[in-house]
Amino acid sequence: MSLPQIVDSHCHLDFPDFDGQHAEIVARAAEAGVTRMVTICTRLRQEPQVRALAEAHAPVFYAAGTHPMSVAEEPLASVEELVSLAVHPKFVGIGETGLDYHYTAESKSVQQESLRIHVEAARQTGLPLIIHARDADDDMARILSEEHAAGAYACVMHCFSSTAALAEVALGLGFYLSMSGIAAFPRSKELREIFAAAPVERILVETDSPYLAPPPHRGKRNEPAYTAHTARVGAEVFDMAYEDFARQTSANFDRLFSKAAAWTSAA
C-alpha cells in the first residue's frame, strides 16, 4: 500500500547543506510520501538559483522574498519586483517575510517596511504571504491586522512557534498555521496545545529544512522527507489517523497555494 501523500510547505533547498544532492533529496521525500515541496528564496538576488531548482524537479515549487533577518543588508524589495517574479508558473507564494526581533531588533523599522511591501505584493498577485515571526508578536499582530483591514490577502504563519494570542489573531484573519519540527519536540507541549485549539482545516506541515529536524533526527540536518515525522505528531495532536491528517493538510495546502494545486492538476 502506498504511503499517504503530504506536502512540505516550506524548505530551503538552495542552502549549501544540500549542494549536489537535490535529486536524492527529492527521491527520499517521495519515498516518505512527501510528493510536493515549496523551496523558499530568502534573498532576492538568489532567486535565479531557487527558480532553477523548481524548474529541474517536478515536485518542487518556490516562493521568494527578503527574510526579515536580512533586510538590513539586502536592497529593499519593491512591490513591482515581487509581482514580476510571480509570473513564473511555479512561483507560488510571497516571502518569507515578517519580523524577527530575537537577533535583529535593531532593524525593526526596515523589517516593518519590508513586511508591508510583501503584503501589497501578496494582494496584487493573489498569492499567499509566508510569514516568519519571532519575538515580535505585538507588532506582527498589529501590522497583519492593519494591512488586512486595508485589503484582504492570504497568509501562512510559517514554522509557527509564537503565542496563543498571535495564533488567535492570525486564525481570526483567515490565515493558516504551519507545524514544523518544533511542534514534535518533547518540550513543545504548550505549542501543541495551541495547534490543537486551531481548526485542522487551517493547518499545514513543513520542515524549514535544513533546520529544525524533528525526532528521531533532531540535531541533524533536516530534509523534506522528515515532514512525515512532524505530520505523524500532528495527527496525534488532532486525534486523527495519519492518512486522514495527511489528506486534510494536503487539501489545506491546495486551498492556500492554489497556483501549485493548479500546476499539479495540469501536469
Predicted pLDDT of residue 156 = 98
Residues in CB range of 66: below 8 A, 6 or more apart: 42, 43, 44, 74, 76, 77, 97, 114, 118
- Model-level pTM greater than 0.95? yes
- Amino acid identity of residue 226, one-letter, is Y
Predicted pLDDT of residue 175 = 98
Predicted pLDDT of residue 96 = 97
* Cβ–Cβ < 8 Å for 120, 79: yes
Residues tagged in the binding site annotation for a divalent metal cation: 10, 12, 96, 132, 158, 208
Predicted pLDDT of residue 47 = 98
What is the per-residue DSSP string for the chain? Answer: -PPPPEEEEEE-TTSGGGTT-HHHHHHHHHHTTEEEEEEEESSGGGHHHHHHHHHH-TTEEEEE---GGGTTTSPPP-HHHHHHHTTSTTEEEEEEEEEEHHHHGGGHHHHHHHHHHHHHHHHHH-PPEEEEEES-HHHHHHHHHHHHHHS---EEETT--S-HHHHHHHHHTT-EEEE-GGGGSTT-HHHHHHHHTS-GGGEEE---TTS-PPTTSTTS---GGGHHHHHHHHHHHTT--HHHHHHHHHHHHHHHSHHHHHHHHH-
Predicted pLDDT of residue 266 = 86
Rounded CA-CA distance 92/90 in Å is: 6
Residues tagged in the binding site annotation: 10, 12, 96, 132, 158, 208
What is the per-residue DSSP string for 53-79? Answer: HHHH-TTEEEEE---GGGTTTSPPP-H
Q: Measured between alpha carbons, how far apart are the two ends of the chain, in Å?
A: 24
| Average pLDDT along the chain, 267 residues, taken 10 residues at a time | 90 96 98 98 97 98 98 96 98 98 97 98 98 97 98 98 98 98 96 98 98 95 98 98 98 98 87
Rounded CA-CA distance 246/33 in Å is: 9
Predicted pLDDT of residue 234 = 98
Domains by residue range for the chain, with CATH: 6-266 (3.20.20.140)
